[in-house]
Structure 1
Amino acid sequence: MAQRHKPHARHVPTERQPTRFSPSQLYEAARLYWNEDATQAEIAEALGTSRPTVSRLLAEAREAGIVHIEIRKPSATGLSALARELTRCLGIRSVRITPPGKGLPAGRVLAGAVGEALRDAGLGRGDALLVSSGSTVHGVSQEALPNLPGVLVAPTVGGQNEIDSSYQTNEITRRVAVKIGGTPVLLHAPALPGPELREWLIKDPQVRQVLRLWKTAKCALLGVGAPPLTRTSLPSVLPTDPVTLRNAVGDICVRPYDSQGTPIPFPGSDRLIAMDLAALTKIQHTIAIAIGENKITSIRAAARAGYFNTLVTDVDTANALLGSCPEPD
């Protein structure tokens, strides 16, 4: 039987159909979306229409030439110069800056630069990489990271009882280990056990293995928390009363600190199964990852105290940090 062939589709030029939206409608939708940062749902409510209609309005605004979108490759030279200035301002070893990622999760924005910082740390088989908790570290753990086979990955703090995935440190540790091809060393302990449980836990062989890695680790990946009293999400072990944390500008490894980087004790903090902030200053490579102007004070205080020596952030946060630097004498 002769094989039948489908006829090739022939392109027939057609005239563009006239838009069913007025220029004023297209302009208003575009103005609200790109100039006012309104969501499509908010625009739909403002214009008395539906979200699908808003989507069509925005598409036609681009087609009609009302909106011009230009994508520019970021200037590596400009970012490098900003990084050098900020490195001097913070008094740390290095800064890596990414372009802004409007609408993207912080972990996705920073993951590439975090990978570069991890490669620079020169981690080899048998070296230990510590990871803290927090939404940014959790986000980075879900993105592509460099292959570092044989590296041991351990948490800096307990957290097996946390409900919020951003503070489930074993899960974050496991994700990072999978991404880099390393070996997870998990910490089966809550961050704040009772006195008797703590005494039992620190004698457990698996817990003791993690505690040893805290002393010998070559690198740590650290989330920097905004002032605790301004946040909607906190590790369950941190107090929420305004008196205890009124001077706290941030936290690392669920240990809050003030504007000078001095640790702030709270009820039960002596029982924490978490790295001491002073111990971070003895690690060769400490990589802080943070985005947001609400973290300017917390980043500066942690840098001043020496809790990290490398910062990974985006260009907007970097500019805000640089703007907060004191004028040179």
Structure 2
Amino acid sequence: MTDAMQEARFPQELMYAAASQYYLEDATQADIAQRLGVSRATVSRLLTEARRQGIVEIRVHRPATLEEGPLAAQVADALRIQRVYLVPKVSGPALGPWLAPGLARALAAVGLEAGDVVLVSSGSTVYECAREGLGRFPGVTIAPAVGGQEEPQPWFQTNETTRILAERLGGVPSYLYAPALPGPELFNSLQHEPSVRRVMDLWAHAKCAIVGVGSAPLMRQVVPAFVPREATSLRQAVGDVCSRFYDRNGDPVEYPGSERLVATGLEELRRIPASIAIAVGGEKITSIIAAAKGGYFNQLVTDTPTAESLLATART
């Protein structure tokens, strides 16, 4: 007999008895098994099925101590942005599970409705957050803010991030079938390709953007293949948003071929009502501050240590 068949035959009285003893009387699964005359494995399945059928409802309340307080307001004021959403110190190789709750709060405050456009950039942080629970916004349009890249990692493929995020939010994906930096002939052709033009037109009407903030290109171990690291101009770049590089003052940094970049322009980012940057880590401090100076985002999701460093650096 399979577990599913066995669970389907559990009497509700038995599930209720196991659940009430476990959750209300703090009985152990071993105690419950002895009282009910079943195995501990059966008790575990009873509790699982009780949750599945709604006999047990578990609610997780966010402690008031974790809500945005003075530090978030101080960082927002120092960066001259609308709001900062803080999460506890990020640890471990995966950033998504830590940062996603902050991004979820930011998205909930935007007031997204069916038909609104949400842009997403490339990058591992945005990709990881897209895979987490961020709330449901049925009918919103999710579109890439930058074309695809040659690297094999999925976070360089904005269509993949778009697909995942649309699925998680209950939105409608709009894919961009164009490389981030096409050759001159292909670039000219793409300007007249209806499917590409349709996504480009969405950039000007976006209500929200979710973007990562890259560190200085010459300091990274991995940069997109289309970025010419030998370009002299990139020595002045301290970071990028949507593969658009900028210097310490937030001014754009061009490089050979950048005029053909298929990505949301920095001016377009400035016009988006809710441009949410997700960034964490000491190596991002300078790039975050410079991007804020340029006006490339107006909301920030980060962790407490990064916020403290941002505040200290901005004040000096």
> Above 0.5 in TM-score?
yes
- Equivalence map 1:197-236=2 (5 Å): 197-236=186-225
What are the superposed Cα offsets for residues 24-46 of structure 1, whole Å, 9 maximum, x if unpaired?
A: xxxxxxxxxxxxxxxxxxxxxxx
Higher helix share: 2
Cα RMSD after superposing both structures: 1.7
- Equivalence map 1:1-329=2 (5 Å): 75-76=65-66, 79-159=68-148, 161-241=150-230, 243-326=232-315
8 A Cα contact 1:170 1:187, kept in partner: yes
Name the residue aligned to 1:19.
none
Q: Distance in 2 between matches of 1:312 and 1:202?
A: 34
8 A Cα contact 1:160 1:170, kept in partner: no
What fraction of aligned residue pairs are identical, expressed as a percent? 47
State the Cα distance separating 1:244 from its structure 2 match.
Answer: 3.1
Question: TM-score, length-normalised on structure 1?
Answer: 0.75
8 A Cα contact 2:150 2:224, kept in partner: no
User: Any idea what SS the aligned residue of 1:288 has?
Assistant: strand
Q: Distance in 2 between matches of 1:254 and 1:280?
A: 12
User: Any idea what SS the aligned residue of 1:86 has?
Assistant: helix
Q: Gaps (5+ residues) in structure 1? A: 1-7, 11-72
* Paired letter, 1:75: T
What are the superposed Cα offsets for residues 261-311 of structure 1, whole Å, 9 maximum, x if unpaired?
A: 111111110111111111100111000000001000000001011110000
* Paired letter, 1:306: G
State the Cα distance separating 1:9 from its structure 2 match.
Answer: 7.4
Please identify the structure whose Cα radius of gyration is greater. Answer: 1
User: Any idea what SS the aligned residue of 1:96 has?
Assistant: strand
8 A Cα contact 2:231 2:255, kept in partner: no
Q: Following TM superposition, where does structure 1 have runs of at least 4 consecutive aligned residues deviating by more than 3 angstroms? A: none
* Paired letter, 1:159: G
Q: Distance in 1 between matches of 2:255 and 2:231?
A: 12
State the Cα distance separating 1:109 from its structure 2 match.
Answer: 0.9
8 A Cα contact 1:160 1:188, kept in partner: no
Q: Gaps (5+ residues) in structure 2? A: 1-32, 36-62
